[in-house]
Amino acid sequence: MKFIIQLIFTIVICLLLELFFPWWTLAIGAFVVAFIFDNKGFPSFVIGFLAAALLWTGLAGYTTFITDGILTTRLNQLLPINSILITALVGGLTGGFGALTGSLFRKL
Amino acid sequence: MKIFKFSISAVITIALIYFLNNNWNFGSPIPALGKFLDPFHGVWQNAETKEKKTEKLKLDGLKAEVVIVYDSMMIPHIFAQNNEDLYFAQGYVTASQRLWQMEFQTHAAAGRVSEIIGAAALDFDRRQRRLGMVYAAEQALESAIENPEALAMVESYGKGVNQYIESLDYADLPLEYKLLNYKPEPWTNVKFGLLLKYMAKTLNIGDKDLEMTNALKLFGKDMVDLLWPDHEDIGDPIVDQAGKWKFKPITLDSLPLALPDELVNISPVEKPEKGVGSNNWAVSGMKTQTGSAILCNDPHLTLNLPSIWHIIHLQGPGVNVMGASLPGVPSVISGFNDSIAWGVTNAQRDLVDWYKIQFKDETRKEYLSDGQWKSSRKVIEEIKIKNGDSYFDTVTYTHHGPVLYDESFHGDAEKNHYAFRWIAHDRSEEVLTFYKLNRAKNHKDYLEALDHFVSPAQNFVFASVNGDIAMRVQGKFPVRRKEEGKYLLDGTKTSTEWHAFIPNDQNVMYKNPARGFVSSANQYPVDDTYPYFITSTSYEAYRNRRINHLLSEMSEITPRDMMEMQFDTYNLKAYEGLPVLLAMIDTTSLAPAQQAAFSILKQWNFENEINSLGASYFEAWWKSLFPLIWDEVKNSTVALDYPTDYTTIKLIKEKPDLSFFDIVGTPEKETAREVVQLAFAKGVEAIEEWKNTKHMEPRWADYKDTFIGHLLQGIPAFSHHVQHGGTGDAINASSRTHGPSWRMVVSLEKTKVKAWGVYPGGQSGNPGSPYYNNMLSLWSKGNYVPFQFETVPGKMKDVSSTLTLIPAQ
């Protein structure tokens, strides 16, 4: 249960930050939420990863859906792997490491 | 331990963010992945829909409200209440559809590509600087400043572009900026000049003086005259009115012809691209179904995405004009208004001369001119390089122009310095020509507008609602003595410099000829009685004859007929050349594949259609033959130019024993017959190999493989391959990467001017937009967009968006 709540919290905080600030505030959002929830390192990483990946994939997927995937098709050709997958990975790693750092900071 | 774990994690997080926030190059370039892929601000924000929008924007610098209606093709129709607002809005909407391209092309013109993509572009940039492109653009701006109308137009356009740039935050930036991780800079007035001079470079910088100098030394004058004649005795000149040139021409003091006797050891960096050329024609009402004149234009250029052209409709007090504009230049370049229509093709003229400079010493501060030491001017060019230190290049200017080649740039010897004189460095008012053409009401206005046009020299076709049709070859042309300007000139003497220019009213032109049509296709411009010496790198030999043949036979012409004619794929070169080549093949000893090729060629109807096999075999044969014949040129250690296809075929036919037919690398003595046979075998082999790799029949569209590449090195994800017929020598002059960059047909009917047009691309420069390439398939199938040419916004149909610009105060 805590997992789900922390996940939703991370998504919401990151979403709010991204509306006003640059992309890397994902890491800050994940950091803060992980700090507050005081979860263990590994679960925090997974939650941070999933939250950021879901947030980014969600918007990228929605964008693809409403634009008939015109740009997505081109990006798939431009990038070495599927564009939504790589978006998830890049966002996920940023959120994951942000959350891990937050949880480890709490333990100091 | 805890602090250790935390530190490691914190360092990884920060390093990761740093990595993902910057561009990298590990063999291949990697964008700033985090910034780029962030769906809230990055590339995903560039995905667009066809959603209909109605927007109102308050902008600084406007005087009154401007209404912009986008039609179903996303063509902006601008309705303004004064000239300043009209060009402000043109700048604004053009930037909103094409900002990255406008800036990239002006950066390319100014030799600033290294700033964006890194050291790989350094040689290109140095060449642009040494060509004096910025100097030329500044000359154009200087001229514009002196004319209040031109200045207001250029300034208002720039303000509009800048208002758009200022409105952008990272999420709104065109995709290419995000990919390369940089930002647009403010637009400056000189940039319109950079774009016009970039066109001048594409169209008018072609010359072969240095190559001809080498040819003269290697092969002698007689051979040069045979292989590279001034005038191939073929074709219909653009203006043919023998004996009617009644003016008194300017003459120069006669000088004994001084031909150079030396080899020029430079490696020219780029050749004018084959396939750059164009068609235009106008038919008078006596040949059309409606009784009104019809005008057609299709300029052939490198086909890129975003397209070089952008369609726009400008409506304001005293002006109602529509057509193709160049993103970055105010006004319409090839188009029509409610009274006239005009179009352009490139005028083939030698507008570049080379002078060998003798400097006093290695400081290059002084050079010899008529026995005196003149001071040179040095310009230090700083070329900024992405992720690197700036490169500083010193360019020496003489009174002729800049020294392009020296020991530090594509030359080999310390003493050989070559300065060049180029017409595009002269003061010029092209932007005023278009301002006036956009507003012209009749033939007189058209002539007056063209008087301001210096370069790149163009053949301007004209037709009016009044029923006039006309053609004028316009540019600033030096008066030349016979043979002058074909070879390297002695820079120590002023006698061979450009002393006079042909007065505008003595340029090649005529109106309403008896045959009922005017046309141009980059051929030799005029009949032999024109009293000035004309020289050029080459003249078109085939398209012009096909056009004139078709037009002279047609009557009751409709716009649809004209569209079909622009799409004509008849290959006159093959019609004339193929029988000559086939007759040289010994059919008794052909291998099966060769036998099959022979009969395909024999039955071919000379049409370069999508499904034609003969066209592919002919092309393969010709591509093998040409370098075999001209192996002396191909393998030369000094720069040489190739003779034309027309001359090559003529020599095969008339002088099959010419020494050039011998392949230098073989002990045997070949004549045309052996070379043609050998090339046939090689051509068939090339096709067989193609068939084996592609696993399909060599249909012409597949074999040719028309490619419309994105401006950024043809990135495959943003580029397209198209099924399209045509060939460089057909009216539909589409080769692999070049072709009709804009097709326009205008029917000048008294009740209403009707027009159709298309180009291989789309109005939006954004690869994430449905309007990025939506005209591509229309273009490739020979279809057109019927233009809406309304005088009030309310009459517009199929509106896709409306934008109202309101003054901010």
Burial of B603 (0-12, 13-18, 19+ CB in 10 A): exposed
**Does the beta-carbon distance from B49 to A67 stay under 8 Å?**
yes
The residue type of B655 is K
Question: Tell me: the pLDDT tens digits for B667-681?
Answer: 888 899 999 999 999
**Does the beta-carbon distance from A23 to B35 stay under 8 Å?**
yes
Look up tokens 């960096």; give the residue: B269
Interface mutation target, options A15, A78, A81, chain B, most CBs of B under 10 Å: A78
For residue B772, the chain A residue with the least C-alpha distance is A70
**Does the beta-carbon distance from B16 to A18 stay under 8 Å?**
no
Contacts of B266 (CB under 8 A, 6+ apart): B210, B405, B410, B411, B412, B416, B418, B639
**Does the beta-carbon distance from B40 to A93 stay under 8 Å?**
no
For residue B33, the chain A residue with the least C-alpha distance is A90
Nearest to A71 among B16, B21, B46 (CB): B46
Q: Round the CA-based radius of gyration of chain B to a whole number and report it.
A: 28
For residue B30, the chain A residue with the least C-alpha distance is A79
Query: What is the helix (H) or strand (E) element at residue B340, kind and residue range?
Result: strand B340-346
For residue A92, the chain B residue with the least C-alpha distance is B34
Q: Considering all CA atoms of chain B, what is the largest pairwise distance in Å, rounded to the nearest integer?
A: 101
Strands (E), B197-302: 277-283, 294-302
pTM for the whole thing? 0.94
> B37 contacts in A (CB within 8 Å)?
56, 60, 83, 86-87, 90-91
> B772 contacts in A (CB within 8 Å)?
70
Peptide bond into B627 cis (omega under 30): no
Interface mutation target, options B5, B9, B176, chain A, most CBs of A under 10 Å: B9
For residue B169, the chain A residue with the least C-alpha distance is A22
Q: What pLDDT score does B406 carry?
A: 77
Distance from CA of A10 to the nearest CA of B (A): 16
Angle at B725 between CA B721 and CA B730, to 5 degrees: 130
- Residues A35-61 have a mean pLDDT of 94
Per the CB < 8 A criterion, the answer to whether B731 and B725 are in contact is no
Distance CA B809, CA B741 (A): 41
What interface predicted TM-score (ipTM) does this complex get? 0.97
Per the CB < 8 A criterion, the answer to whether B756 and B745 are in contact is yes
Distance from CA of A2 to the nearest CA of B (A): 23
Distance from CA of B40 to the nearest CA of A (A): 7
Which stretches of chain B drop beneath a pLDDT of 70?
A: 268-276, 412-414
Q: What pLDDT score does B273 carry?
A: 59
Instruction: Give percent above pLDDT 70 in chain A.
Output: 100
Strands (E), A9-57: none
Tell me the two tokens of residue B355. Answer: 């002078």
Q: What pLDDT score does B233 carry?
A: 80
Per the CB < 8 A criterion, the answer to whether B155 and B418 are in contact is no
Nearest to A27 among B17, B43, B772 (CB): B17
CA B152, B155, B159, B160 torsion: positive or negative?
positive
- Residues A60-78 have a mean pLDDT of 95
Q: What pLDDT score does B713 carry?
A: 86
> B764 contacts in A (CB within 8 Å)?
none
Find the length of chain A: 108
Count of A-B CB contacts under 8 Å = 113
Query: What is the helix (H) or strand (E) element at residue B193, kind and residue range?
Result: helix B190-204
**Does the beta-carbon distance from A100 to B41 stay under 8 Å?**
no
Distance from CA of A15 to the nearest CA of B (A): 9
**Does the beta-carbon distance from B16 to A97 stay under 8 Å?**
yes
Write the DSSP assignment of B406-463 as a string of letters.
Answer: BTTBBB--TT-EEEEEEGGGS---HHHHHHHHHH--SHHHHHHHHTT--SS-EEEEEE
Angle at B209 between CA B204 and CA B210, to 5 degrees: 125
Q: What pLDDT score does B720 carry?
A: 96
For chain B, the structural domain boundaries read: 81-230+253-274+288-336+350-430+439-566, 572-706
Q: What pLDDT score does B628 carry?
A: 93
Per residue in A14-25, is it b (16+ CB within 10 Å) or e — as a string? Answer: bbebbeeebbbb
In CATH, which of 2.60.40, 1.10.1400, 1.10.10, 1.10.3470 is domain B572-706?
1.10.1400
Q: What pLDDT score does B272 carry?
A: 56
Nearest to B6 among A63, A91, A104 (CB): A104
**Does the beta-carbon distance from B37 to A67 stay under 8 Å?**
no
CA B725, B726, B728, B732 torsion: positive or negative?
negative
Nearest to B2 among A64, A71, A108 (CB): A108
Q: Cα separations (Å) of B37 from A56, A62, B183, B215, B708? A: 9, 14, 17, 55, 26
Q: What pLDDT score does B604 carry?
A: 97
- DSSP state at residue B466: T
**Does the beta-carbon distance from A75 to B43 stay under 8 Å?**
yes
Interface mutation target, options B3, B13, B24, B26, chain A, most CBs of A under 10 Å: B13
Domain range for A99 is: 2-106
Per the CB < 8 A criterion, the answer to whether B763 and B478 are in contact is no
Burial of B655 (0-12, 13-18, 19+ CB in 10 A): middle
Distance from CA of A16 to the nearest CA of B (A): 11
Structural domains counted in chain A: 1
Confidence of residue A91 (pLDDT cuts 50, 70, 90): very high
For residue A70, the chain B residue with the least C-alpha distance is B768
Nearest to B41 among A23, A66, A86 (CB): A23
